[in-house]
Structure 1
Amino acid sequence: MTKPRLNPLLVVSAVVAALVGLPVASVLTNILSGGTNAIWSHLAATVLPDYVANTLVLCFAVALGVVVVGVATAWLIVMHDFPGRRVFEWALVLPMAMPAYVLAYVYTDFLQFVGPLQSFLRQLFGWSKADYWFPEVRSLAGAVTMFIFVLYPYVYLLTRTAFAERAGGMLEASRSLGLGPWRSFFRLSLPLARPAVAAGTTLALMETLADYGTVSYFGVQTFTTGIYRAWFSLGDRIAAAQLAAALLAFVIVLLLVEHASRGRSRFHDTSGRRHPIAGRRLPGWRGWLAMVACAVPLGIGFLLPAWLLLRLVLPEVDTRFGTHFVALARNSFLLAGLTATIAVTLAVLLAYGARLSNGRLAPALNRLVSLGYAVPGSVIAVGVLIPVTRLDHWLAGQWQSWFGDNPGLLITGGIAALVYAYLVRFLAVALQSIGASLAKITVSMDDASRSLGLGQVATLRRVHLPILRGSLFTAGLLVFVDVMKELPATLVMRPFDFDTLATQAYTLASDERLSEAASVSLAIVTVGVLPLIALSRQISRARR
């Protein structure tokens, strides 16, 4: 009787899930300690209802906004030809390079009463403060707007890939059956792209739930602001852990809803058509309207704030960039590139392991991995530091007993622990993107490759990876840009005398040194823009 073979990919999934879950578990174990908690009782009686209400409204409004903006722009780019389409194709991803907290600082300065816009309006029309009403940017609606125009590229990128993969042969068939453009969109293209839309929206909502800088600066009370207040202001890790558990409950519900929305549906492309799509020419005012529809999110999410930052930097550009800036950029590139490479590699193994699994264990482990994306970066940092510091001290003790000298902190003293925290936080980004694309490859292709004598590894290398090339690039750039913008975990876990562009921008902005923060913020945007442009255009070429 032969022993059943252990699936190595399942072992990888289990190990990765355990490593991702360890920081969260180290935080949540505090829920069971300490008995009754006066601070938690006070929070539940006073501010907890506001946390729940604001978080629900924020999630619903952001989800609706990113779906409308992301799907509309993706459909216009893939299926139509209008002035500026080739530029918008890659430029629409640029808002991903603009951190939401930087956007909050910029628009607050631009739209406040003493800012350039209101000052110009008062001077132009001779108004006083009592003569007009102006919307308050530092509000829940303002936070929703910031998130929509920063996070819609998640939906745009994944949906654009889905539309491009399926549009060729299938839409030709639908037109031969008498379906017009609108009916083809709602009855064929949008249902087939639903996995990509759901994956992009889930990523956007996880980013929204995990954000601290924007909602804190705008004075919006959510679970993340409550966690920070309980942990760092009140010094109560038990109350913070209980709020973190409530936040995780939101994420679990979100993931279950997204999974249930797919049901037993499968979304395979068996047309075999990979020729370039001839976009339908939009004549006259329709073409200009399509151009405006693409220009508005790009302008709000990137062009206008970038110009405002540049306007603050130019008067003192000679003093803002030098050797210190080069060191900051080098540190950010190192962390982002290393994390993106590891995350894409692990995501391929996890997604492929779930595809090969006949049971529910591998998909369940992947959903567990996805939970880390919704946990605030500082909470993850503390959750990583607790077990890793203990391991560091044990290793130092063993080293000293073996060699007679103390090596110091081997893991937390460098960037290894920080990269670990980034992977816990952002591995879900790569996994969602690659998993959604892998699900679109019909199972019959696996059967055909095995009938030709290819094993699992050879099938992945020779069949799936070439098909997934565009998705791999997409996953890599998503992780890269997210790490470039990550602030809380970097603040808590960075080694001594190791600053990044994000930590420098936060420090200067917190001190109200906005002109100095603008130069570093522009550096974050510039460093993030370059790979976004290159990889986005490479994805476009790969689809042609």
Structure 2
Amino acid sequence: MPPGLLSHPHRRWTVAALAIGALLALPIGVVAMNLFTPGGEAWTHLASTVLPRYVRTTLALLAGVLVGVVVVGVASAWLVAACEFPGRRILEWALLLPLAMPAYVMAYAYTDFLQFAGPVQTMLRTTFGWSAGDYFFPDVRSLGGAIAMFVCVLYPYVYLLARVAFIEQSPSLAEAGRTLGLSAWSTFFRVSLPMARPAIAAGASLALMETLADFGTVSYFGVQTFTTGIFRAWLSMGEPASAAKLAAILLAFVFAIVALERWARQRARFHELAGTGRRERVLLRGWRAAAASVACGLPLAVGFLLPALLLVKMSLGGGDQAFGERFARLAVNSVTLAAVTAAAAVALALFLAYAARITRSPVSAFVNRVAGLGYAIPGAVIAIGVLIPAARLDNFIADAAQATFGWSMGLLFTGGIVALVYAYLIRFLAVALQTVEAGLAQVTPSMEDAARSLGLGASETLARVHAPILRSSLVTAALLVFVDVMKELPATFVMRPFNFDTLAVQAYNLAADERLAEASTASLAIVAVGLVPLVLASRRLVRREEKARGAFPTRAVQA
């Protein structure tokens, strides 16, 4: 380290941020290195037998989810943004609610609903007098069923970004289309849709990365993807090296999606005119209004309302022990992990965001980009990247303590929740960082000038000036991380300490044992935790957009 590097307070902030970035990037680097290391006999066997199937299934899953989320998300976003029909004001925020429903929870609910002994097939057999083998009914536990589950819960990513893009488009664009004789549909396909393509690509890439990160849904449905292969190699076959290689290939899939999305945005050159005219929605009547209401209401009903009702029904039939002592212990474990991670994530995010603000250093900016990478990395990949170095460090410390002092240290990191919280921070720090950066951008730099004139240093300014101002952003960031940790399954499933289950792990284990009614209580609790902040955030987003459009109010016009 060059002399004097730590002499300036701002340089100390930069070095500290660099150290945090190195810790966050370490597991990703550990996994990436396995792409270039030779494999053993076990890996050769896996590569020649199941690896081609993993590739085919993963690509088919991604293709199906991509088509589904784009169709559902774009259609609902355009109807809500461009048309006026019954229920639009409720649907424009309620269409985000499926984000509160993890895909694996929805998979449990619909399996109980659509399986052979479920109410749907039972009603069909009773009504028509059919017996087994007399009729065909699609199997929900299949690749097609997994695609449907992901589309139902992930379309809001595309809906949210596409809706904002449609709203922000200048009214003069649609007017120009009409003057050229284009119909409403032609204007949508030839003007509005191409202009919204970057936003649609960004939302679709988020949905695809969430699909790659999933373990509960594909495992429960028996769909052989890279995620299930990682867990099979690590837990069933006892082959950490093979699991790490599969994780490295999955990591390459993620980077390919990110690169394609950024390449598409760089190639796109869309220059929007500032909209200064009155925004007009098309007023739909009759069957057109009914069709629009159904088209927007169906994703909400299938993606949230119906599975939520099914979970409530199953939990009510779970018996007296449904919310008993075992459930309380699991809830405490989940809340403890989520609260510790949320507090640590907010503290780190505040430090990194403020370091980038006061130093204005390329190093700090680069660290923040590295910290944002974790959200794109599947939990299974992060778990492998954390466990390999953490286990080696644990063994080294234990051996050194035993040889030097005769102490039996046990496993300091992997034997408790330290390694698990570390994995959570890598996965979800980006959520807190983006929220804190957005709040910090609203604070005028004159605040820091005033604090320095009063003799306050950078740390004192952060603690006494910025932190109180950012209280709302910090609470929001903590809440978002809290909800994400409550839902996270892959990393928790692999890295949880012995005899330390969470609600997500309990739901998965019970569902795997076909005890869906018992799994519903833990699943319902996960959904309830995620629902409250999502409702508040979605309604606040709509109100903020309405306030911003106040100077140019929308007006419904006849179709």
Q: TM-score w.r.t. structure 2 length?
A: 0.77
Deviation at 1:18, TM superposition (A): 2.4
- Give the Cα–Cα distance (whole angstroms) in 1 for the partners of residues 482 and 218 of structure 2: 23
- What is the aligned counterpart of 1:18 among 17, 22, 43? 22
In structure 2, the CA distance between the partners of 1:327 and 1:114, relative to structure 1 (3 Å rule), is closer
What's the Cα RMSD here?
Answer: 4.6
Find the counterpart in structure 1 of residue 206 from structure 2: 203
Find the counterpart in structure 1 of residue 256 from structure 2: 253
Contact 2:73 2:155 survives alignment (8 Å): yes
In structure 2, the CA distance between the partners of 1:307 and 1:36, relative to structure 1 (3 Å rule), is closer
1:14-413 equivalences in 2 (<5 Å): 14-29=18-33, 36-164=39-167, 166-167=168-169, 170-171=170-171, 173-179=172-178, 181-182=184-185, 185-186=188-189, 189-263=192-266, 271=274, 279-316=281-318, 318-322=320-324, 324-336=326-338, 339=341, 369=371, 371-373=373-375, 375-388=377-390
Aligned partner letter, 2:263: A
In structure 2, the CA distance between the partners of 1:477 and 1:537, relative to structure 1 (3 Å rule), is farther
Contact 1:77 1:89 survives alignment (8 Å): yes
- Give the Cα–Cα distance (whole angstroms) in 2 for the partners of residues 269 and 188 of structure 1: 11
- Give the Cα–Cα distance (whole angstroms) in 1 for the partners of residues 361 and 197 of structure 2: 24
Deviation at 1:399, TM superposition (A): 11
Q: Does 1:418 align with 2:420?
A: yes
Deviation at 1:476, TM superposition (A): 7.0
- Give the Cα–Cα distance (whole angstroms) in 1 for the partners of residues 364 and 156 of structure 2: 29
In structure 2, the CA distance between the partners of 1:395 and 1:190, relative to structure 1 (3 Å rule), is farther
In structure 2, the CA distance between the partners of 1:128 and 1:52, relative to structure 1 (3 Å rule), is same
Deviation at 1:259, TM superposition (A): 0.9
Aligned partner letter, 2:301: G
- Give the Cα–Cα distance (whole angstroms) in 2 for the partners of residues 512 and 248 of structure 1: 32
Q: Does 1:485 align with 2:484?
A: no
Deviation at 1:321, TM superposition (A): 2.1
Aligned partner letter, 1:424: I
In structure 2, the CA distance between the partners of 1:297 and 1:125, relative to structure 1 (3 Å rule), is same
Identity level (%): 56
- What is the aligned counterpart of 2:512 among 500, 510, 535? 510
Contact 2:18 2:363 survives alignment (8 Å): no
Contact 1:31 1:238 survives alignment (8 Å): no
Contact 1:348 1:431 survives alignment (8 Å): yes
In structure 2, the CA distance between the partners of 1:378 and 1:36, relative to structure 1 (3 Å rule), is closer
Aligned partner letter, 1:256: A
Deviation at 1:141, TM superposition (A): 1.1
Larger Rg: 2
In structure 2, the CA distance between the partners of 1:385 and 1:211, relative to structure 1 (3 Å rule), is same
Q: Which range moves more in the overlay, 364-373 or 213-222? A: 364-373
Q: Does 1:539 align with 2:538?
A: no
| Structure 2 residues not aligned, in runs of 5+ | 452-457, 548-559
Contact 2:226 2:250 survives alignment (8 Å): yes
In structure 2, the CA distance between the partners of 1:292 and 1:354, relative to structure 1 (3 Å rule), is farther
Residues 303-327 of structure 1: per-residue CA shift (max 9 Å, x gap): 2222222222223464322455445
Contact 1:505 1:521 survives alignment (8 Å): yes
Deviation at 1:353, TM superposition (A): 9.1
Aligned partner letter, 1:19: L
- Give the Cα–Cα distance (whole angstroms) in 2 for the partners of residues 147 and 137 of structure 1: 13
- Give the Cα–Cα distance (whole angstroms) in 2 for the partners of residues 197 and 345 of structure 1: 32
Find the counterpart in structure 2 of residue 527 from structure 1: 529
In structure 2, the CA distance between the partners of 1:138 and 1:433, relative to structure 1 (3 Å rule), is farther
Q: Which range moves more in the overlay, 130-139 or 369-378? A: 369-378
Residues 215-240 of structure 1: per-residue CA shift (max 9 Å, x gap): 12222211122222222211112222
Q: Which range moves more in the overlay, 275-284 or 412-421? A: 275-284
Contact 1:329 1:527 survives alignment (8 Å): no
Contact 2:142 2:223 survives alignment (8 Å): yes
Aligned partner letter, 2:46: L
In structure 2, the CA distance between the partners of 1:46 and 1:494, relative to structure 1 (3 Å rule), is closer
In structure 2, the CA distance between the partners of 1:432 and 1:59, relative to structure 1 (3 Å rule), is farther
Aligned partner letter, 1:119: T
In structure 2, the CA distance between the partners of 1:327 and 1:527, relative to structure 1 (3 Å rule), is farther
In structure 2, the CA distance between the partners of 1:344 and 1:72, relative to structure 1 (3 Å rule), is farther
In structure 2, the CA distance between the partners of 1:346 and 1:86, relative to structure 1 (3 Å rule), is farther
Contact 2:32 2:251 survives alignment (8 Å): no
In structure 2, the CA distance between the partners of 1:369 and 1:250, relative to structure 1 (3 Å rule), is farther
Tell me the SS of whatever aligns to 1:127: coil
In structure 2, the CA distance between the partners of 1:265 and 1:385, relative to structure 1 (3 Å rule), is same
Aligned partner letter, 2:63: F
Residues 230-274 of structure 1: per-residue CA shift (max 9 Å, x gap): 22211112222221221122112111111110116577878487x
- Give the Cα–Cα distance (whole angstroms) in 1 for the partners of residues 274 and 349 of structure 2: 27
Q: Which range moves more in the overlay, 54-63 or 80-89? A: 80-89
Contact 1:109 1:115 survives alignment (8 Å): yes
- Give the Cα–Cα distance (whole angstroms) in 2 for the partners of residues 279 and 72 of structure 1: 15
Tell me the SS of whatever aligns to 1:109: helix
- Give the Cα–Cα distance (whole angstroms) in 1 for the partners of residues 190 and 427 of structure 2: 36
In structure 2, the CA distance between the partners of 1:136 and 1:237, relative to structure 1 (3 Å rule), is same
In structure 2, the CA distance between the partners of 1:88 and 1:339, relative to structure 1 (3 Å rule), is farther
Find the counterpart in structure 1 of residue 557 from structure 2: none
Deviation at 1:28, TM superposition (A): 4.7
- Give the Cα–Cα distance (whole angstroms) in 1 for the partners of residues 30 and 52 of structure 2: 26
- Give the Cα–Cα distance (whole angstroms) in 2 for the partners of residues 82 and 387 of structure 1: 56
- Give the Cα–Cα distance (whole angstroms) in 1 for the partners of residues 75 and 96 of structure 2: 14
Contact 1:244 1:375 survives alignment (8 Å): no
Aligned partner letter, 2:52: P
Tell me the SS of whatever aligns to 1:177: helix
- Give the Cα–Cα distance (whole angstroms) in 2 for the partners of residues 132 and 96 of structure 1: 34
- Give the Cα–Cα distance (whole angstroms) in 2 for the partners of residues 280 and 432 of structure 1: 35
Count of aligned pairs between the two proteins:
524
Aligned partner letter, 1:285: W
Q: Which range moves more in the overlay, 253-262 or 220-229? A: 220-229
Q: Does 1:494 align with 2:496?
A: yes
In structure 2, the CA distance between the partners of 1:124 and 1:532, relative to structure 1 (3 Å rule), is same
Contact 1:474 1:536 survives alignment (8 Å): no
- Give the Cα–Cα distance (whole angstroms) in 2 for the partners of residues 239 and 114 of structure 1: 39
Contact 1:372 1:426 survives alignment (8 Å): yes
Q: TM-score w.r.t. structure 1 length?
A: 0.79
